[in-house]
Amino acid sequence: MDYSLRPELGAVQRLELRLSPAMIQSMEILQLTSLDLQEKIEAELEENPVLEIAEPEPETPVEDDVAPGEGPPVAAAPEVPEAAGEGEYSKLEDLSASSQFAWDDEEYVGRRVRAGDDDPKLGAMQNVEGRPMTLGEHLEGQLAFVSDDERTVALAREVIGNLDDNGYLIGSLDEIGQSLKDWTPPPSAEELEEALSLVQSLDPPGVGARDLRECLLLQLARERRTPAPELRLAREIIMHYLDELGRNRVPQIVKEVRRTVPELGAIDVDDVKNAHKIIASLDPKPGRTFGGARPKYIRPDVVIEKIDGRYEVHLENGYFPRLALKTEYRALMSGRKSDVETRKFLRRKFQDAEFLLKALSMRDNTLQRIAGEIAALQEGFFEEGVEHLRPLRLQDVAERLGMHLSTVSRAISGKYLQCPRGVFEMKFFFPGGASRQDGTSESRNSVMARLKELIAKEDRSRPLSDEDLAEELKKQGIAISRRTVTKYREAEGIAASRERKAY
- Would you call 278 exposed, middle or buried from its count of C-beta atoms within 10 A (0-12, 13-18, 19+)? buried
> Quick one: CA torsion of 138, 139, 145, 151, rounded to 10 degrees?
-140
Determine the average pLDDT of the residues in 244-251: 88
Q: Are the C-beta atoms of residues 269 and 258 closer than 8 Å to each other?
A: no
What is the reported pLDDT for 108? 37
Q: Are the C-beta atoms of residues 311 and 382 closer than 8 Å to each other?
A: yes
Which candidate, 131, 279, 283, 266, places its Cα nearest to that of 207? 283
Together in a domain, 366 and 254: no
Q: pLDDT of 463-487, one tens digit each?
A: 888 888 888 888 887 878 888 888 8
Please say which residue of 362, 393, 424 terminates a domain.
424
Q: Give bridge partners of residue 107 from the DSSP assignment.
A: 104
Q: Where is 109: in which H helix or E strand?
A: strand 107-110
Q: pLDDT of 39-79, one tens digit each?
A: 888 888 888 888 888 776 655 554 444 444 444 443 333 34
Together in a domain, 188 and 155: yes
What is the reported pLDDT for 163? 92
Together in a domain, 194 and 239: no
Lowest mean pLDDT among 14-18, 206-210, 273-277, 434-438: 434-438
Residue 237: helix, strand or coil by DSSP?
Answer: helix
Together in a domain, 420 and 448: no
What is the reported pLDDT for 322? 84
What's the half-sphere exposure (Cβ side, CA atoms, 13 Å) at 126?
6
What is the reported pLDDT for 213? 93
What is the reported pLDDT for 101? 39
Q: How many domains does the chain have?
A: 4
**Whether residue 121 has pLDDT greater than 80:** no
Q: Are the C-beta atoms of residues 200 and 218 closer than 8 Å to each other?
A: yes
How big is the CA angle at 448 (ends 443 and 451), to the nearest 5 degrees?
A: 130
Q: Are the C-beta atoms of residues 273 and 349 closer than 8 Å to each other?
A: no
Residue 233 lies in a domain: yes
Residue 401 lies in a domain: no
What is the reported pLDDT for 69? 41
- The domain that holds 484 is classified in CATH as 1.10.10.60
Question: What is the span of the domain harbouring residue 178?
Answer: 136-200
Q: Where is 217: in which H helix or E strand?
A: helix 212-221
Residue 389: helix, strand or coil by DSSP?
Answer: coil
Q: pLDDT of 327-341, one tens digit each?
A: 787 777 766 666 788
Residue 121 lies in a domain: no
Query: What is the share, in percent, of the chain residues with pLDDT greater than 70?
Result: 78
Residue 295 lies in a domain: no
Please say which residue of 182, 200, 218 terminates a domain.
200
DSSP string, 396-422: HHHHHHT--HHHHHHHHTT-EEEETTE
What is the reported pLDDT for 335? 64
How far apart are alpha carbons 487 and 494 in whole angstroms? 10
Together in a domain, 156 and 249: no
Together in a domain, 417 and 337: yes
Residue 400 lies in a domain: no
Together in a domain, 348 and 419: yes
Residue 355 lies in a domain: yes
Residue 94: helix, strand or coil by DSSP?
Answer: helix
Neighbours of 70 (CB within 10 A): 6
**Whether residue 492 has pLDDT greater than 90:** no
Please say which residue of 403, 424, 445 terminates a domain.
424
Confidence of residue 350 (pLDDT cuts 50, 70, 90): confident
What's the half-sphere exposure (Cβ side, CA atoms, 13 Å) at 362?
22
Together in a domain, 311 and 416: yes
Distance between start and end Cα atoms, the chain: 89
Residue 87 lies in a domain: no
Together in a domain, 196 and 149: yes
Q: How far is CA 86 from the centre of its chain?
A: 50
Neighbours of 192 (CB within 10 A): 20
Lowest mean pLDDT among 3-17, 134-148, 294-308: 3-17
Together in a domain, 349 and 373: yes
70: left (phi over 0), alpha (psi -120 to 50) or beta: alpha
Together in a domain, 337 and 232: no
Look over the chain and give the mean of its residue pLDDT values, rounded to a whole number: 79
Backbone angles phi, psi at 303, to 5 degrees: -125, 130
Rg (CA), the chain: 35
What is the reported pLDDT for 456? 86
Q: pLDDT of 123-132, one tens digit each?
A: 544 555 556 7
Confidence of residue 122 (pLDDT cuts 50, 70, 90): low
How far apart are alpha carbons 275 and 284 in whole angstroms? 16
How far apart are alpha carbons 104 and 108 in whole angstroms? 7
Together in a domain, 165 and 231: no
Residue 494 lies in a domain: yes
Integer CA distances (angstroms), 152 to 175, 199, 252, in order: 17, 10, 45
How far apart are alpha carbons 373 and 299 in whole angstroms? 21
What is the reported pLDDT for 90? 42
What is the reported pLDDT for 18? 64
